[in-house]
Amino acid sequence: MSEWISVKDRLPEDKVSVLIFVASENKIHASELCDLHKHGLSCEDWHLSYDSHEFLGFPKNEVTHWMHLPSPPKDTE
């Protein structure tokens, strides 16, 4: 599995599902990074972090690390 990447080092690609670590909850969630300007979203409606980027559904500066999702299982029966 991938290693955790600090949001201070780099961010994932726009609209790609990743695992995120939410510091205030001490929990891992799945989310996507969204470039608000690129998708025409109103900045006033969002808690902005990382300039115009936001991990969807999580408050500003709560996400400290992220990693790519693992591969799905090969046998899904």
Query: What is the mean pLDDT of the segment spanning 47-64?
Result: 64
User: What pLDDT, on the 0 to 100 scale, is given for residue 37?
Assistant: 54
User: What pLDDT, on the 0 to 100 scale, is given for residue 28?
Assistant: 93
Domain ranges of the chain: 5-68
| 34: number of Cβ within 10 Å | 18
* Residues 19/55, Cβ–Cβ less than 8 Å: no
Residue 24 pLDDT level (bands cut at 50, 70, 90): confident
> What mean pLDDT, rounded, does the chain reach?
75
Choice between 40 and 3, residue whose per-residue pLDDT is larger: 3
User: What pLDDT, on the 0 to 100 scale, is given for residue 56?
Assistant: 73
Note the pTM of the prediction, 2 decimals.
Answer: 0.71
